[in-house]
Structure 1
Amino acid sequence: MSKITTVEGSVRVDLLGGTLDLVPINLILPDVVTLNLATSLKAKVVITPIDFDGVEIVSKDYKTTDKFNSRDFTAENFQNKFFGNLEFIARILHLFGLHSGVRMELESGSPPGAGLGGSSAMGVTCYSAIATHMKIPYERVEAIQKVNAIEALIIDCPAGYQDYYPALFGGVLGLKPSPGRVEVIQLFTEELKEILESHVTLVYSGETRNSGINNWEVYKAFFNKDAAVRAGLAEIANLSNKALKAIQSKNYEALIPLIGAEGEERRKLFPGILTQNMNQLHMVLKDQGPHFGMKICGAGGGGCFLITHRPSDREYIDQLLAKFQMKRLPFKVERPL
């Protein structure tokens, strides 16, 4: 195992049906589907063999280097949060019994707290990199299930499953749940890629968020039988199914407004999903006409969002973002893996 191993995995943009990927909400609501895509923004993991009885973890994003001895990987240390912010990575290493002799260099590929599922993409990319380094065959779905379980353990609340799939499958995905499995529908076409890239702008608000906290509030409200939350999520499922059918029938003209409509439903449903600055931008866009839409990425409260628009509106959007001190994140839709 002397060779350097490099693995990349896409962070995702969720188009429609986020939050519906929380178990068992995904089975309680009828006709659930979550639609997302793999972006050219990539989590990257480089594993290098080193002569050290332990593991060195280098974060390119935070410019930090941490070393852990092999004897640090104990149940007691995991229980006591010994690994701090690197617990997720440490637990994935521990899953493979890889406790020594490697340096792991990590780069997230997206801004912190962006709402693009960056931590989840990093998790499955780490899993893939370690398995590749150790020459251990693995199934993508099994990798997703294991990493999802670890992440839920760490954030101490349910973790949706949609964020992991684009990193290992690529393309444009429809995720349809049934008991014990998630059907992965690959929807990618070159035409759909062009439509999405020309009609959707990905924006980073500059404000970080915590998806676990927001999702937990939704989760509690759902199981407290909050009628508005249940009706809102059911409508999001309805819009997601319409979008799936639009893609499958190549009715792309209908698809783009559905993304904006899902964003409106989500905004009405969850207080605080838009920050004050994002809400002001939203009002400006609404005043410009119905061809503009806005859809939060992830659980909201900051992070990234989508603006849907005509291709000719790109210059106006860039000017507007400069005014609001926000940043467009250029991306391409990745082809299937």
Structure 2
Amino acid sequence: MIVRSRAPLRLGLAGGGTDVSPYCDVYGGSVMNVTIDKYAYAILSPSDSGRCEFEALDVGVSEVHDCGAIPSQGGPLQLLKGVHARICRDFLSGESQPLKVQTFSDAPPGSGLGSSSTMVVALVQAFAEYYALPLGEYEVAHLAYEIERNDLKLAGGKQDQYAATFGGFNFMEFYAENRVIVNPLRVKDWVWSELEASLVLYFTGVSRASADIIDQQSRNVTSGNQTSIDAMHSLKKEAVQMKECVLRGDLPGLARTLQAGWEAKKNMASSISNPLIEEVERVAFANGAHAAKVSGAGGGGFMMFVCSPEKRIGLIRALAEQGGRLLDFHFTQQGAASWRIT
């Protein structure tokens, strides 16, 4: 039997960063996001070697280990090994069975689309299918979060795991003790289409380590840096405003909220913006963009721009001359999914 799974990447529309501890534990966080038709994939199959095999197909890295001696932390395959270790511990009485685990993704790590967390969700979903584990959406997302943040000690927030698991447009609330509420939004068809036609997604060509930015953001909250805390308060309010704009189809309001959120986000940590991002932003505004925002923690990765659909082609041409690349995408309603090949 072969099991395949996929989980969608996400665009953070508003509130990103308020899902990170300790802010969400103290004040509560709110995030508005949407998934797109770019995915992280996982494949599980029996191992012919009688050992445990791990392979990231898109980067050409593989490891083979005796099933009872698998290092789970560190290295380019730590997500694969970390999920495997947790599933064995929690559901297989600690026994590791011979298995081949393979992955690939439509976006690189550090893209700002939640690719690492989405990969963990795809892996958890695949293991749940392979071993017929009784895991619902909240359980898959929470387990993926625990593996990434607690087991592997990777810094970050909570929104990516829940976005990848649930899919679609979601308004998410984050509270102390890992309490999360996902509110799926019923977005009108014309709003869905108009927003797709109004968004441009541009990869700066720079992948960044989000952990460094998130660590600085967390330290700012812990130390009582009021500028950073006030910025996160603003981001949380803008997530609520973004939800209202999407539900009402208020595209001008959406653009204003997106831009206000980006300006507030830059006050959370000094490394969120840089000269490259600022230059791309300048070019975009000179060629029809109404709003700009970096997706994810900041520092690089993908940038989002809102423009009038009739300005889209001109904006794309101008951005293409900046050395990065454009990503064609559509929104998707489906979250993580898995299937069996027998």
CA contact (8 A) 1:157 1:216 kept: no
Normalising by structure 2, we get a TM-score of: 0.89
CA contact (8 A) 1:23 1:158 kept: no
Aligned sequence identity (%): 21
CA contact (8 A) 1:50 1:102 kept: yes
1:255-274 paired onto structure 2 within 5 Å: 255-274=254-273
- 1:63 and 2:60 are equivalent in the alignment: yes
Q: Distance in 2 between matches of 1:72 and 1:278?
A: 44
CA contact (8 A) 1:260 1:308 kept: no
- 1:53 and 2:50 are equivalent in the alignment: yes
Structure 1 residue 183 displacement after superposition: 1.1
Structure 1 residue 155 displacement after superposition: 5.9
Structure 1 residue 154 displacement after superposition: 5.8
1:94-173 paired onto structure 2 within 5 Å: 94-97=85-88, 99-153=96-150, 156=153, 158-173=155-170
Q: Distance in 2 between matches of 1:280 and 1:253?
A: 24
| 2:80 counterpart letter in structure 1 | I
| 2:331 counterpart letter in structure 1 | V
Once the two structures are superposed, residues 112-156 of structure 1 have per-residue CA deviations (whole angstroms, 9 ceiling, x without a partner) of 320111010000110010110112221221222222122123663
Structure 1 unaligned residues grouped into runs of 5+: none
Aligned to 1:218: 217
Once the two structures are superposed, residues 73-110 of structure 1 have per-residue CA deviations (whole angstroms, 9 ceiling, x without a partner) of 3xxx44xx4x6222222121112227333222201221
1:85 pairs with one of 73, 76, 90: 76
CA contact (8 A) 1:38 1:166 kept: yes
Normalising by structure 1, we get a TM-score of: 0.90
CA contact (8 A) 2:21 2:218 kept: no
Q: Distance in 2 between matches of 1:242 and 1:232?
A: 15
Structure 1 residue 256 displacement after superposition: 2.7
How many pairs does the alignment contain? 327
Q: Distance in 1 between matches of 2:268 and 2:30?
A: 18
2:309 pairs with one of 294, 298, 311: 311
SS of the aligned residue for 1:292 comes to strand
Structure 1 residue 27 displacement after superposition: 4.1
Q: Distance in 2 between matches of 1:35 and 1:163?
A: 11
Structure 1 residue 40 displacement after superposition: 0.3
CA contact (8 A) 1:257 1:308 kept: no
CA contact (8 A) 1:52 1:100 kept: no
CA contact (8 A) 2:109 2:116 kept: no
Once the two structures are superposed, residues 229-267 of structure 1 have per-residue CA deviations (whole angstroms, 9 ceiling, x without a partner) of 111111111211111222333434422321122112223
Distance change in 2, residues 1:274/1:23 (3 Å): closer
Aligned to 1:334: 332
Bigger RCO (CA 8 Å, 6+ sep): 2
Aligned to 2:338: none
Distance change in 2, residues 1:155/1:55 (3 Å): closer
Runs (4+) of structure 1 exceeding 6 A deviation are none
Structure 1 residue 288 displacement after superposition: 5.0
Aligned to 1:254: 253
CA contact (8 A) 1:38 1:171 kept: yes
Q: Distance in 1 between matches of 2:180 and 2:4?
A: 28
CA contact (8 A) 1:171 1:188 kept: no
Greater mean deviation of Cα atoms: 116-125 or 267-276:
267-276
Distance change in 2, residues 1:131/1:279 (3 Å): same
Distance change in 2, residues 1:157/1:135 (3 Å): closer
